[in-house]
Amino acid sequence: LLLAVGLVFAFDPFFHYHEPLGPLKAVLTKKEYQVPGTLRNFSYDSVIAGSSTAENFNNRWFDEAFGTQSVKAIKSSGVTAQLDYYVRLALQERELKYVFYSLDLFALSGDPETEFPDESMPLYLYDDNPFTDVKYLLNKDVIFEDIPYLLAETFLDDYDEGASYNWAQYHTFSRSDALANYGRPEEISPEKTEGEYRPFIDGNVDILERMVQENPDTVFYIFYPPYSLLWWDNMIRSGQLEQSLYAARASMERLLGYENVRMYYFQNEEDVILDLDLYMDPIHFNEDINRWMVEEMAQGNYRLTPENYRKELEKMEGIAERIRTDYDILTD
């Protein structure tokens, strides 16, 4: 038992106790297990936060473009309250220079009262109770799978530490893939009413606004990742187009006035969202798009201001209307 405990503590593949020791690399492939440990124990001054659309960023792109040292705080399909937990954990542990926040419209429509972490997560890695660590220190999967994997990726596969949680290498991106992974609603539903969606969106924007207000020395780079025309088609047919546009507008109007906020809008870039060869499904794009967003933000392109945000949203509304009326999804 002591040998098992010592082995897990020393190699610590979930980084619950410390950063990688000696020549070991920070092999990050299990975000639910590794994000809390990296936020508590790694050396960093900035965080990349978001859902699976943010996983294919290479940390080094941000580090080189913005002169920073970053780690990821990722929750697949994460709603605002879940990402808020991670960002606040990082802010408790470090004085953050930047938060690069990938703001998904669907996250703004989630329940702002969502409790996190919940029972779906490995709670022994999230709590401060040392006695629950037995589930980690005497875990046969950790000993016989995660530690060998850490060693193999460090010494045999030349793992790129900047590519934490990257999944793009395991998927293909093409028009046929995107269409095959799109379950188009057969019927067009009526638009949801403001009363159905506005309380959720406003509550989530409240969460973001508190985060910004309470950390005036941290600069928040908040950006809207580009979803494909298939996603917008789905919003139209499921009666959620006005909800999505309101989510973007409400977050812009509430956050643009803060001096420590920089906002960037990539969702109405037609060369991206209309090219299905860049996607594997309606929402997930290849990592070239991730890199493009970093480069554009570093140059100040696609930045929103109080003067131009309405024009950018109007452009998105126009594209959505064309998708509604002019596009045959199966042939165009």
* pTM higher than the cut 0.85: yes
The pLDDT of residue 329: 64
Strand 98-102 with 261-265, pairing = unpaired
Q: Tell me the C-alpha distance between 232 and 326, whole Å.
A: 13
The pLDDT of residue 158: 86
The pLDDT of residue 330: 54
Element (H, E) at 154: helix 147-155
Tell me the chain's radius of gyration from C-alpha atoms: 21
Q: Report in angstroms the alpha-carbon separations of 278 from 88, 89, 176, 270, 290.
A: 33, 34, 11, 12, 11
Q: Tell me the C-alpha distance between 226 and 269, whole Å.
A: 7
Residue 256 phi, psi (nearest 5): -65, -25
The pLDDT of residue 306: 97
Assigned token pair, 160: 């790129």
Q: Return per-residue pLDDT of the chain as tens, 332 residues.
A: 999 999 999 999 999 999 999 999 999 999 999 999 999 999 999 999 999 999 999 999 999 999 999 999 999 999 999 999 999 999 999 999 999 999 999 999 999 999 999 999 999 999 999 999 999 999 999 999 999 999 999 999 889 999 999 999 889 999 999 999 999 998 999 999 999 999 999 999 999 999 999 999 999 999 999 999 999 999 999 999 999 999 999 999 999 999 999 999 999 999 999 999 999 999 999 999 999 999 999 999 999 999 999 999 999 999 999 999 887 665 55
The pLDDT of residue 326: 84
The pLDDT of residue 197: 97
Q: Tell me the C-alpha distance between 34 and 314, whole Å.
A: 40
